[in-house]
Structure 1
C-alpha cells in the first residue's frame, strides 16, 4: 500500500511541529465468547486516529486497518451546513482523478452542492489520488437521507469516507454489531479504510442517516479504488 509523501501532509508551520500531538490507537482483540462467535474467531480492526494530518503516514503500516484524520474545522463549516441541502442530488462516477475533478467542477454539480463541500471534496480527491498513486476511482457524493445500511468491508484496496453536517458513519469491531462495540466517525473527520482482500478480518462499517426526522440530512463522501 503506497502512502502519502510526508511533505504533502505534515504541517508547514515550524511552531506547530513542536506542540504535543495525541494519537489514539486500538489493538485487535478476540471477539466475546458466545455460541455465535467463539473466542479468537474474529480480531477487532486495528485503528489509529489523530487530529494531525501526519497520522496519514501510518497508512503504510501493514497492521493498520483504518486511519482516521479527526480534523478540527472552523465553526463556519458547521454553520454553513446547518440547513438542509437544496436538492437530493447524487453524484456517482468512476474514472481517473482528472476526470472526476473536471466533473466536480461542472455547473450541475456546483448547483447541487455547497461550495464549501465541493472545495473540500476536491482537496480530499487530490489527497486520495496521491495516496493511491492516481489509480482509477469511484467517487460518490450524496445529500440523500439514507436508510441505515448493513455493515460491509471495503471492496477494493482503499476507501475514503467523510461525512458533512448531520451525516455519519459507523464501524464495528465484529461481524455482528450486537456482539461488539460500534464507534461513530465524527463529522468532517476523514477515514481511510483498507480493503480486507476477501478475508473476514478488516474494518466493517456503514453509512447512516440522520438520527431524527427533524435533522437536516447531511452529505456523504465515499471514494473507492477500482480496478482499471
Structure 2
C-alpha cells in the first residue's frame, strides 16, 4: 500500500497529522494515536462526475440526527427529489454505515449541503469520529499548518473520504473548520457525518 504522510515540522507550526492512500485499508489507521486524520483517495466511476455535470438543480440541504437506521430512512425519503442522484444517496448511506462502524456508535449527525458561491465551510465536533467528502467539482480543504503571516492549506480530490477518529494529537487543541471548495460550474455537495 502506497501511503503519504503529512507531519508539521515543529510544535510551533501546528497542523493536522494526516495519512493518505488510494488503498481503502488506510482507513484502519485512524485509530493510530499519532494521527489526526486519514484520507482515502478513492477512485469512483467516471459516470459519477458526468451525471453531476448534467444536474440543473442542486438538492436541498439535509441535516439528519439519530441512529444509523433513522439516518438511512431519512436518506431514502430523498429518492426522486430534484438533484438527488441515486448513486449519491447510495454512497452517502454506505458512508454513514462506515462512519458508525469506525465510531463504534449508531448515533450520528449527517449533513449534506450544496456548495454555493464557490465555497462553504462549517465546523465539526472535536472528539467525534467524523467522515467528510465532497461530491462533484469540489474538494475539502483544511488548515494544515502556519508560517508567519499565512496559513498553509491542504485539500483532497473530489470524492475522497476524510476520516477522523477524534483522538489524534492535534484534535484535542484544535477546532476543525473544513472548507468545501467548488471548482467551476459543476455542482458540488459537501457531506459531513459526525458519530458520537
TM range (shorter): 0.7 to 0.9
User: For 2:152 and 2:136, how far apart are their aligned partners in 1?
Assistant: 24
Q: Is the partner of 2:53 in helix, strand or coil?
A: coil
Partner deviation per Cα, 1:138-166 (whole Å, 9 max, x = no partner): 00112241564568564342211011111
Structure possessing the higher radius of gyration over alpha carbons: 1
- The corresponding residue for 2:41 is 70
User: Are the structure 2 counterparts of residues 184 and 178 from structure 1 closer, same or farther at C-alpha, using a change threshold of 3 Å?
Assistant: farther
Say whether 1:208 aligns with 2:180: yes
Q: How does 1:134-173 map to 2 (within 5 A)?
A: 134-145=105-116, 148=119, 152=123, 154-173=125-144
- Structure 1, unmatched stretches of 5+, are 1-20, 31-39
Q: Is the partner of 2:158 in helix, strand or coil?
A: coil
Shift of 1:185: 1.3
- Structure 2, unmatched stretches of 5+, are none
Q: How does 1:77-226 map to 2 (within 5 A)?
A: 77-106=48-77, 108-112=78-82, 113-145=84-116, 148=119, 152=123, 154-174=125-145, 179-195=150-166, 199-201=172-174, 204-212=176-184, 215-226=185-196
Q: When the two structures are superposed, what TM-score results if normalisation uses the length of structure 2?
A: 0.85
Structure with greater proportional strand content: 2
Runs of 4+ in 1 over 6 A off after TM superposition: none
Give aligned pairs, total: 193
User: Are the structure 2 counterparts of residues 122 and 144 from structure 1 closer, same or farther at C-alpha, using a change threshold of 3 Å?
Assistant: same
Shift of 1:133: 1.7
